[in-house]
Amino acid sequence: MVNRIFLKYDFRRAPFSPVSHTDLYNCALEQVQWGEKQGVGTTMVCEHHGTDDGYCPSPLITLSAMAAVTEKMRLVTSVIILPFHNPLRLAEDVAVLDVISNGRVDLVMAAGYIPSEFEMFDVPLKKRPSIVENSIATLRRAWTGEFFDYHGREVKITPVPVQVGGPKIILGGSSDAAAKRAAKIADGYMPAVPETFMTYIEESHRLNKTALILGGQGPLFLYISEDPDKAWAEIAPYAMYETNCYSQWAEQAGMDNTYYRAANDADALRKTGMYAILTPEQCIKMAQDLGDWGAIALHPLMGGLPPELSWPSLELFASKVLPELSIDSGSVFDMSRL
C-alpha cells in the first residue's frame, strides 16, 4: 500500500467564517511548513475569479509565497484557467516560480467552465479548446529560452525554468474530448469526472505515450477526530457551503458534477462519504482499502474553516495516522500499465 498525500487550498471563505482572508493565508503558510516536516509531498492551490467569498484568483503568487517557506514540497496549480491568461506573461510568471522553488512546480491547467468568469474577462466560451491548445504550444516554445514567432513577432522569454523544457503540464477536464486533448498535448491528466479516466488511458496507449494522472482515489475532504460526530457538527456548515457553491457553478455551466452535489441536509451530505470525518483507526483502514492508487486530500481550511478547528485534525493525522502509512512524495501516478 502506497498513498500520496496532498495539501489543498482555495481560500474560499464562507460568509459565516469568523476568520479573515489574511488569517487564512497566514495559516496556510504555517501548514505547508508543517506538512513538509511530516513528509507531505504536494500542496495544491486553486483558481477562480470574481467570487463573493474571495476564492483565490492568483495561485502562482500564492505558491511563490509557499515556495519561500518550503524546500522539497511539489507546488501545483490546480488549476490555471488558461483562457484568462496571456500566455507570454504566464510563461514568465511560471518560469520565475520554478526558479524560486528550484524546479518544484507542476501545472494543472484547464479550459474553465463558469460563464460569469468568461464574461468578466471578455473571452468567448466557444474559443476555449483553441485557446488551450495555442497557449500550451506557446508555453513550451517560451520555456526553451530561444526567440520564437508569436503572432508575427519575434519574442523571447527569460529566465528559463529550472526544469528543462518547463514544468509538467497536466490538463484537467470533464469530457472525453478534454481527456483526448490531454493525451495529445499535455504531460498528464486530472479528470474532473471519473468517467473520462479510461478515455485518457486508452488515448495515451493509442499515441504510445506515458499516461500520468494527478490525484487518485479518495474523499474530497478528510478530517481526523476521536469524536467524529462532534467534529462533523462543527464542520458541516462549511462543507455544505462548499458543495452548494460548486453545485451552483456546475448548474450554471450545464454540467453534471459527480463530486459536488447540492445539499440541504448535513446528514445526507455526510453519508456520501466525500467529506470524510474519521477516527485515526478508520483513516488507516481507508488508506489500506484505497490501495496503491490512494490519494489523501487534506483541505484543512475548507470553506474558511477556522485554524482552531483545522489544526487538531492535522496534528492527530500526523501523530496517529502517518506512522502507519507508506507515502509516495510524487504528485502524479503513472497509469501506463493499466
Examine the pLDDT at 332 and tell me if it is beyond 80: no
The per-residue pLDDT for 2 is 53
The per-residue pLDDT for 255 is 80
The per-residue pLDDT for 262 is 85
Per-residue DSSP letter, 44? E
* CA gap 64, 110 in Å, rounded: 20
pLDDT tens for residues 68-83?
999 999 999 999 999 9
Taking residues 193-205, report their average pLDDT: 90
The per-residue pLDDT for 258 is 60
Pairing label, strands 42-45, 3-9 = parallel
Taking residues 195-222, report their average pLDDT: 90
Examine the pLDDT at 292 and tell me if it is beyond 90: no
Average pLDDT, rounded, for the chain: 93
Secondary structure class of 235 (helix, strand, coil): helix
* CA gap 338, 180 in Å, rounded: 16
The per-residue pLDDT for 328 is 74
Taking residues 274-294, report their average pLDDT: 92
% the chain with pLDDT above 70: 96
pLDDT tens for residues 218-230?
899 999 999 999 9
pLDDT tens for residues 83-120?
999 999 999 999 999 999 999 999 999 999 999 999 99
The per-residue pLDDT for 246 is 95
How does DSSP assign 172-232, residue by residue?
EESSHHHHHHHHHHSSEEEESSGGGHHHHHHHHHHTT---EEES-BS-SEEEE-SSHHHHH
206-244 as b/e: b if 16+ CB within 10 A: eeeeebbbbbbebbbbbbbbeebeebbeebbebbbbbbb
The per-residue pLDDT for 257 is 62
The per-residue pLDDT for 333 is 74
The per-residue pLDDT for 128 is 95
% the chain with pLDDT above 90: 83
**DSSP β-bridge partners for residue 108:** 78, 170
Examine the pLDDT at 259 and tell me if it is beyond 80: no
Taking residues 51-73, report their average pLDDT: 98
Examine the pLDDT at 195 and tell me if it is beyond 90: no
Examine the pLDDT at 313 and tell me if it is beyond 90: yes
How does DSSP assign 56-81, residue by residue?
-S-HHHHHHHHHHT-SS-EEEEEEEE
Band of residue 216 on the pLDDT scale cut at 50, 70, 90:
confident
Residue 208 is part of a domain; what is its CATH number? 3.20.20.30
* CA gap 133, 183 in Å, rounded: 12
Taking residues 157-165, report their average pLDDT: 98
* CA gap 176, 262 in Å, rounded: 25
The whole-angstrom distance between residue 328's C-alpha and the CA centroid of its chain comes to: 17
Out of 29-38, 122-131, 188-197, 278-287, pick the least confident: 188-197
Domain tally for the chain?
1
The per-residue pLDDT for 117 is 97
Examine the pLDDT at 338 and tell me if it is beyond 60: no
Range of the domain at 133: 3-334
Band of residue 271 on the pLDDT scale cut at 50, 70, 90:
very high
